[in-house]
Amino acid sequence: MRLPRLFRRAPPPRVAATLYDAVVARGRQPAWYLDGQVPDTLDGRFDMIAAILSMVMLRLEGEGAGAAPAASLAECFVDDMDGQLRQIGFGDMVVGKHIGRMMAMLGGRIGAYRDGLADGSFESALVRNLYRGVEPDAHALVYVAAHLRRLRAALDAVSVDDLLAGKLPE
């Protein structure tokens, strides 16, 4: 008879772990918070990472083989948010509920940004989602919108393999 394992091995690394790390690193760049006036708070950092993650997810949507990398990227997001919530002090009973809300927020942002890029209402989508309804000064909004648009356009030239290797365009 085998004894149950007392210690579990860590799961294998996610396919998109390096890409997710690059997204988070991009979202932590000080210029978003200084020039772009994104609030430098937990919510603001979440919103900024979600905005960049949305641009990458939109890129993967257009790729035939993008479903598996996109799913892995979403799993990395969940793993990270789970760890962040636990570090803040949330217990097992509420972490799942908060993760569900964060995933819904990410899904809503992906849709809002997709539509905003397509129909010209991107700035409005940013005010609603990135700035949570509080309009920043015009320079900050132009800064963030221009940089996210540029990132989204530049992502089309990057292969999925390069994305998975964490190579985000500048």
- CA 153, 158, 159, 163 torsion-angle sign: negative
Residue 56: closest CA among 161, 157, 151: 151
| Strands in 31-127 per DSSP E | none
Rg (CA), the chain: 17
Taking the C-alpha atoms of residue 150 and residue 170, their distance in angstroms, rounded to an integer, is 9
pLDDT of residue 63: 72
pLDDT of residue 162: 96
Name the pLDDT band for 143 (thresholds 50, 70, 90).
very high
Please state, as a whole number, how many other Cβ atoms lie within 10 Å of the Cβ of residue 41.
10
pLDDT at 131 exceeding the cut of 60: yes
| Cβ neighbours of residue 21 closer than 8 Å, sequence gap 6 or more | 166
What are the tens digits of pLDDT across the range 64-116? Answer: 665 889 999 999 998 888 877 878 787 777 777 888 888 899 999 999 999 99
What are the tens digits of pLDDT across the range 11-69? Answer: 556 789 999 999 999 999 999 999 999 999 989 999 999 999 999 999 998 776 658 89
Taking the C-alpha atoms of residue 122 and residue 145, their distance in angstroms, rounded to an integer, is 7
pTM assigned to the model: 0.87
Taking the C-alpha atoms of residue 3 and residue 143, their distance in angstroms, rounded to an integer, is 59
Please state, as a whole number, how many other Cβ atoms lie within 10 Å of the Cβ of residue 38.
24
Cβ pair 17, 76 in contact under 8 A: yes
